[in-house]
Amino acid sequence: MSTPFYVSPQQAMADRAEYARKGIARGRSVVVLQYTDGILFVAENPSRALHKVSEIYDRIAFAAVGKYNEFENLRIGGVRYADLRGYTYHREDVTARGLANVYAQTLGTIFSSAAEKPYEVELIVAEVGSAPEEDQIYRLPHDGSIVDEHGAVAVGGNSDQIGSYLDQRHRDEMTLGEALRLAVESLSRDNNGGERQLTAEQLEVAVLDRTRPQQRKFRRVLGRQLTRLLSAESSAEGAAEGAEPSETETEE
């Protein structure tokens, strides 16, 4: 009779972590940056149907990389949690911190369970405040840990190199246009140090805009507005116009 093959708990968890990281690394990156009037989300995503960045609640948005069906299930669960909590208590009781804790519990339970494979996802949950110092950005890796981020953060395939590029160049007082162009520059860099050309059609861009008079602060940046903001020749006036929806912009 053969002896059962033994794997230590430490090795099993290391193997699961490596499996999840490899899956995440295959995905195109997402970057999230604070700018003067809010929080910017930029993803390399040519699809107009499958979003990596989505609204969760009034002041809260969600970004993810990895397997689409897995992070889409998490997004839907987050929306349900936020709607239920806002209805049961008060809309202001729905916070990014609370949502991040819910996601952390879910991811941690799945990661620790030997009965199913770990989720191949990495998430960002962000909430815009009434002032920049009140903004909240949380990064959640595959194992359910929570990392409190500030300024700029990247997740996905080339996140270490992109994050280093952002850290060296990001400023808190950046305009929307400046932050967007920095985000695209960082996403354009490949593993070998070269650069690619990313066009507006290859990008998914959204903001949590604290200056919006509406309760909902999330909006997508599309069409001519996105093209104008991407232009290196954009003036400060053009960047300021980014705060207003253009005729080609749709709301979610």
| Cβ atoms within 10 Å of 44's Cβ, excluding its own | 22
Do strands 147-149 and 152-155 pair parallel, antiparallel, or not at all (unpaired)?
unpaired
> Each residue of 8-32: pLDDT tens digit?
878 888 888 999 989 988 888 999 9
Cα separation of 146 and 239, whole Å?
33
List the chain domain ranges: 11-241
pLDDT at 234 over 50: no
Between the alpha carbon of residue 44 and those of residues 4, 14, 16, 213, the distances in Å are: 46, 29, 27, 29
Percent of the chain with pLDDT over 70: 88
pLDDT tens, residue by residue, 72-112: 999 999 999 999 999 999 999 999 999 999 999 999 999 99
Overall fold of domain 11-241: Glutamine Phosphoribosylpyrophosphate, subunit 1, domain 1 (3.60.20)
Please give the helix or strand (H or E) that residue 18 lies within, else none: helix 9-25
Q: Which residue has the tokens 């009965």?
A: 115
DSSP string, 192-218: TS-B----GGGEEEEEEETT-SSS--E
